[in-house]
């Protein structure tokens, strides 16, 4: 299906609708990336580069500070919610309206309408955010072209309901396994039930008291939870194994290594296998660029409950926050939507920050 070129003269709300009407499920971002690249190359004040389906555009005005505005082009699979629909209450419905084509629309409007910002700007539009971490387009850019992501401060336009959300939690998963002995369930005394042996694991989780950690005035709430249980072979067999998958969401004052050590300590005496992790990101709100951003926008500041790609910027030494018009609670839902007023407010607040 052919799509018209993106018209960056449209306000951010109407541009959001156009972006939603470009289906771009993870792995199928090319058409939208092509349109974004074409629209940005038409702007003489920007230099534009591309890596696969990630597009990066930059001003080069010699300003004292460089800010990165970043957002992903892909969405989760469509759930009968494309094309977009604007209702009588000024609410735009459709896949990606919240997560995060409204944020991408705001980025594009800044690229088009602020040719001489008070800070040099880098605009990053990337692919494969909604799938496995190893496919993430921002991660690929960090490996292939870290210089494209260089900056003094970054804003990831993920949905935050118009709040500034500082940093993000880290996340890791482990598998805690018990072993037993198989037997016929009619002669259970001849076996050892590995599922029964998992009861103390669940008891430790049920009694666990998660930390609350204050960093830069923001309180991060941790969580340690069983998210999956696997065990057994058949309904007439005493199981000889049981594995409890545990997810730990940890405050960004802990490194991945410290978080793993903590989880192993919680499950002392059990077989624990680490499977994967991603580091958190400190909020960095004391950084002058972040402080100026918060001061200019004049909105609520909160911790980020969850993991986002701000952690990738943090790993590169770039302090970053989350800020976008969408509601994260609507992300990935069939009922995904965003108020037009929220998108326009985000557009105006960013413009004020970049022109004062």
CATH class of 12-167+281-355: alpha beta
Q: Write down the pLDDT at residue 125.
A: 98
Residue with tokens 């103390």: 200
The residue ranges of every structural domain in the chain are 12-167+281-355, 170-278
**In angstroms, rounded to a whole number, what is the distance separating the alpha carbons of residues 217 and 12?**
32
Lowest mean pLDDT among 14-18, 51-55, 312-316: 312-316
pTM of the predicted protein model: 0.89
Condensed to tens digits (0 to 9), the pLDDT of residues 184-197 reads 999 999 999 999 99
Cis peptide bond upstream of 257, omega within 30: no
Condensed to tens digits (0 to 9), the pLDDT of residues 245-277 reads 999 999 999 999 999 999 999 999 999 999 999
Condensed to tens digits (0 to 9), the pLDDT of residues 222-253 reads 999 999 999 999 999 999 999 999 999 999 99
User: Catalytic pick from 129, 130, 240, 347?
Assistant: 129
| In 286-355, beta strands by DSSP E | 301-303, 320-322, 337-339
Condensed to tens digits (0 to 9), the pLDDT of residues 66-80 reads 999 999 999 999 999
Condensed to tens digits (0 to 9), the pLDDT of residues 147-164 reads 999 999 999 999 999 999
Q: Are 119 and 61 in contact (CB under 8 A)?
A: no
Active-site residue flag, 257: no
Condensed to tens digits (0 to 9), the pLDDT of residues 17-65 reads 999 999 999 999 999 999 999 999 999 999 999 999 999 999 999 999 9
Question: Whole-number mean pLDDT of the chain?
Answer: 96
Active-site residue flag, 74: yes
Condensed to tens digits (0 to 9), the pLDDT of residues 116-128 reads 999 999 999 999 9
Q: What is the DSSP string of 296-309?
A: HH---EEE--S--T
Kindly state the average pLDDT of the residues 305-319.
92
**In angstroms, rounded to a whole number, what is the distance separating the alpha carbons of residues 285 and 314?**
12
User: Catalytic pick from 74, 130, 152, 336?
Assistant: 74
Q: Write down the pLDDT at residue 286.
A: 86
Task: Say which CATH architecture domain 170-278 belongs to.
Answer: 2-Layer Sandwich (3.30)
């Amino acid at each position: 299906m052919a799509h018209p070129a993106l018209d960056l003269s449209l306000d951010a709300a109407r541009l959001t609708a156009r972006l939603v009407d470009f289906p771009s499920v993870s792995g199928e971002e090319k058409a939208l990336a092509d349109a974004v690249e074409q629209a940005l190359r038409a702007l003489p004040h920007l230099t534009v580069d591309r890596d696969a389906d990630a597009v990066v555009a930059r001003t080069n005005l010699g300003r004292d500070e460089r800010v990165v505005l970043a957002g992903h082009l892909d969405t989760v699979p469509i759930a009968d919610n494309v094309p977009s629909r604007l209702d009588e209450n000024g609410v735009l419905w459709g896949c990606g309206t919240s997560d995060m084509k409204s944020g991408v629309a705001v980025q594009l409007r800044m690229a088009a309408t602020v040719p001489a910002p008070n800070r040099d700007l880098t605009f990053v539009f990337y692919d494969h955010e909604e799938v496995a971490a190893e496919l993430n387009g921002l991660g690929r850019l960090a490996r292939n072209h870290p210089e494209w992501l260089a900056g003094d401060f970054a804003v990831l336009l993920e949905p935050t309901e118009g709040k500034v959300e500082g940093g993000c939690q880290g996340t890791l998963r482990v598998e805690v396994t018990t072993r037993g002995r198989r037997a016929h369930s009619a002669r259970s005394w001849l076996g050892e039930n590995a599922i029964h042996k998992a009861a103390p694991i669940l008891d430790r989780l049920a009694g666990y008291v998660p930390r609350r950690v204050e960093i830069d005035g923001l309180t991060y709430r941790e969580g340690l939870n069983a998210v999956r249980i696997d065990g057994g072979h058949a309904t007439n067999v005493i199981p000889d194994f049981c594995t409890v998958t545990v997810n730990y969401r940890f405050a960004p004052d802990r490194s991945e290594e410290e978080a793993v050590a903590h989880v192993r300590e919680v499950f002392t005496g059990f077989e624990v296998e680490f499977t994967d992790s991603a580091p958190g990101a400190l909020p960095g709100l004391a950084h002058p660029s972040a402080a100026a951003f918060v001061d200019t926008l004049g909105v609520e500041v909160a911790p980020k409950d969850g993991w986002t790609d701000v952690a990738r910027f943090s790993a590169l030494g770039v302090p970053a926050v989350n800020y976008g018009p969408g509601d994260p609670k609507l992300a990935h839902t069939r009922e995904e939507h965003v108020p037009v007023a929220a998108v326009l407010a985000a557009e105006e607040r960013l413009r004020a920050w970049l022109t004062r």
